[in-house]
Structure 1
């Protein structure tokens, strides 16, 4: 039997796929990719003769049907997701029924949009004295969020936060964040991080809604919020010349 590879294609730049992910796409007989988000340039890695399906127009049953048919024929399947498939990738609902049929699956991690967004701004989520915690979440929309994970409750930690799938409800996001974050807290909205047409909007909780609407950003954007976006922080102990650790004696 063939095998199914769930591959994280990264945030957009086709070079941000892992070496393993690229290799598996190159050898797979069937490619099912999330066409609404995955950069189509990733398909240039496919071998000649590979069958390619765009899952943007398919439902779960159709995706599983194509996968099962390929496996029955002894073919390998590359199921290509955007970013990292373990974050909002909807992979469990695909893997569980396949494994019940003894179809072997493997997940290949990828670069997430929230790390790509921080990278493009040259920012670090975990700054000494500022934040040592990253919260990845979303605001409730058509997909509900558990009450104990509501945005206003998570905001009470005042940690570094990455908010997915929510820019179309930016007003609601800011309303919930300002329950706990000060109104002057820095915030960034990054649309299509790592793509050629990437767009970055910087502001505070006070003015970001107006700025985002002026740029007409309504989808494929990451919202980052927290004082890690500012310029005040302490230096790390890691490279402090007076700090001793197992690899270096402090001076």
Structure 2
């Protein structure tokens, strides 16, 4: 028996990988999180599948349901929003299923930060401005390891992709300002990226404090978001490499 753990992307069916879409189309059963993935869209993507909504389940109940479905044969999909390996339950589910003798194959997905940057036509990195990106979140109900929260990472000059913090825009703004970022540091925000009701906007740390508190909002913060007239050395006529001398 086998379970496919598929990254469903931010919600737009066209942002599914080809493999993910194929598996959903072939699926006999799909376990998904109804609070994050629209059921109507899923019915179109997986027309033959028995759909199970996991939003009210515990980990043990999820694993039990997946194991039962895998035992019946056919394609069984555990659908995660975004990418399964980022702020999800991939590790717990995979470990528990493998302990039961059930194989697990992971199919990556487009995470909300990448979809948000693409929607705005912006880059997360820029030559000589920012060459690193950190995925992070505020510690709210669950803690963040020391030195890995937005405030600690802000001073390094990299681009921050901040998840699971949409209910606390004022706190996020305050902590980033306390870290030494300039008040006019660009902030790209996306609410329900790739879904009905999507809202995408560009503001700064001052404007961040005035945004409404909403779940399913991701923030991108950093100078790369307003970089202009930058040029990669790779394509400079004077930059030689093995394909151009």
TM-score, normalised to structure 1, is 0.91
Distance 2:69 2:102 in 1: 11
Q: Secondary structure at the match of 2:168?
A: helix
2:85 match: secondary structure: coil
Q: Secondary structure at the match of 1:182?
A: coil
Give the Cα separation in 2 of the matches to 1:247 and 1:110: 32
CA distance in 2 between partners of 1:194 and 1:200 (Å):
10
Q: Distance in 1 between matches of 2:242 and 2:197?
A: 45
Which residue pairs with 2:44 in the alignment?
44
Give 1:144's aligned residue. 143
Aligned-residue CA RMSD in angstroms? 1.5
Q: 1:66: Cα distance to partner?
A: 1.1
Asked if the contact 1:11/1:83 (under 8 Å) is kept, the reply is: yes
Cα deviations by residue, 1:118-174 (Å, 9 ceiling, x for unpaired): 101111111001100001000001111112213221112121110001011111111
Alignment match, 1:199: 199
- Counterpart mapping for 1:103-182 below 5 A: 103-178=102-177, 179-182=179-182
* 1-structure distance, mates of 2:207, 2:23: 45
Aligned equivalents of 2:192, 2:240: Cα separation in 1:
41
Count of aligned residue pairs for this structure pair: 243
Q: Distance in 1 between matches of 2:72 and 2:228?
A: 59
DSSP-derived class of the 2:95 partner: helix
Over residues 74-120 of structure 1, what are the superposed CA-to-partner deviations in whole Å (9 max), with x where a residue is unaligned?
34310001010100111111110110121100110000000001101
Q: Distance in 1 between matches of 2:147 and 2:209?
A: 26
- 1:224 matched to which residue of 2? 220
* Of 58-67 and 229-238, the range deviating more from structure 2: 229-238
Instruction: Compute the displacement of 1:242 (Å).
Output: 2.8
Shift of 1:47: 4.2
Structure 1 CA distance, aligned partners of 2:216 and 2:229?
Answer: 30
CA shift for structure 1 position 233: 4.8
Q: Indicate conservation of the 8 Å contact 1:5/1:105, yes or no.
A: yes
The equivalent of 1:12 in structure 2 is: 11
Structure 1 residue runs of 4 or more that deviate by more than 6 Å after TM superposition: none
Q: Is the 8 A contact 1:14 1:39 kept in 2?
A: no
Tell whether the 8 Å contact from 2:126 to 2:227 is kept in structure 1 after alignment.
no
Q: Is the 8 A contact 2:30 2:79 kept in 1?
A: yes
| 1:3–1:105 Cα contact (<8 Å) kept | yes
What residue is the counterpart of 1:60 in the other structure? 59
Structure 1: give runs of 5+ residues left out of the alignment. none
> What are the superposed Cα offsets for residues 57-87 of structure 1, whole Å, 9 maximum, x if unpaired?
2221221111111222234310001010100
Give, in whole Å, the separation in 1 of the partners of 2:47 and 2:195: 24
- Helix, strand or coil: the match of 2:200? strand
Task: Give the unaligned 5+ runs of structure 2.
Answer: none
Give the alignment's TM-score, normalised by structure 2.
Answer: 0.94
Q: What's the CA shift for 1:5? A: 0.4
